[in-house]
Chains A and B, each alone.
Chain A
Amino acid sequence: DAMVIQNPRYQVTQFGKPVTLSCSQTLNHNVMYWYQQKSSQAPKLLFHYYDKDFNNEADTPDNFQSRRPNTSFCFLDIRSPGLGDAAMYLCATSRAIPDGDNQPQHFGDGTRLSIL
């Protein structure tokens, strides 16, 4: 019973060819995150949505964009993938509590992106 679903599991694209990764959730969580993770490194937060509010990390390249058309879905668009963008892309959700209580993130299986 997957609760955070990412598609596809594996994506191969050509250098410079736009690609879109998708994430959906059945948890009704109001926060959704996109991470990039390269081998032997910690996940690197790219951006997150708090409901409809988009929050971009300062060092996220302009090449990366995101859309969240509704609570359940979130997309990561890479406009012109470069070789350095080959990585695992992880989507996560969490329920935001105003008082900052412990609310962990729930991850999808990830999409492994390869660039030819």
Chain B
Amino acid sequence: RKEVEQDPGPFNVPEGATVAFNCTYSNSASQSFFWYRQDCRKEPKLLMSVYSSGNEDGRFTAQLNRASQYISLLIRDSKLSDSATYLCVVRDYQLIWGAGTKLIIKP
């Protein structure tokens, strides 16, 4: 079992739709959680840290469920510019990266 697992994707979604990404992690002692966004041939960029109480930043909402060991990212009213790969990152004693889920927003 992979330490951090994400939906394999790609997700093909019409503009304006709501998109949900899920990520599960295997180490219950994991302490920190992040969502990164990576555009094609570019470096990963931090999208959001994920806090225990859940957090929202504009159209983006991140949630953490420690009991079930998963985190989620919701994008509302998706834009063409949201097309990218979304990577889940979990920290226990080191950072573990998910393989990423590619999102394609279609006009």
Whether the pair A103, B32 counts as a contact (CB closer than 8 A) is: yes
Ranked 6 nearest A-B pairs via Cβ: A107-B43, A42-B97, A100-B31, A102-B49, A104-B46, A102-B32
Question: Please, how many residues of chain B have a CB less than 8 angstroms from a CB on the other chain?
Answer: 20
Whether the pair B41, A43 counts as a contact (CB closer than 8 A) is: no
Whether the pair B44, A43 counts as a contact (CB closer than 8 A) is: yes
Cross-chain contact of A104 among B31, B41, B42, B49 (Cβ < 8 A) = B49
Cross-chain contact of A88 among B32, B41, B46, B99 (Cβ < 8 A) = B41
Whether the pair A45, B32 counts as a contact (CB closer than 8 A) is: no
Instruction: List residues 25-80 of chain A with CB under 8 A from any CB of chain B.
Output: 41-45
Whether the pair A108, B94 counts as a contact (CB closer than 8 A) is: no
Give per-residue flags for A72-95: 1 if the beta carbon is below 8 A from chain B beta carbons, else 0. Answer: 000000000000000010100000
User: Main SS of chain A's interface residues?
Assistant: loop
B39 to chain A, nearest CB (A): 11
Question: Please, how many residues of chain A have a CB less than 8 angstroms from a CB on the other chain?
Answer: 19
A58 to chain B, nearest CB (A): 11
| Contact of B34 with A by CB under 8 A | yes
Contacts A42-B87, A102-B32, A107-B44 aside, 18 further interface pairs with beta carbons under 8 A come to A41-B99, A42-B97, A42-B98, A42-B100, A88-B41, A90-B44, A100-B31, A100-B91, A102-B33, A102-B34, A102-B51, A103-B32, A104-B49, A105-B44, A105-B95, A106-B46, A110-B42, A112-B41
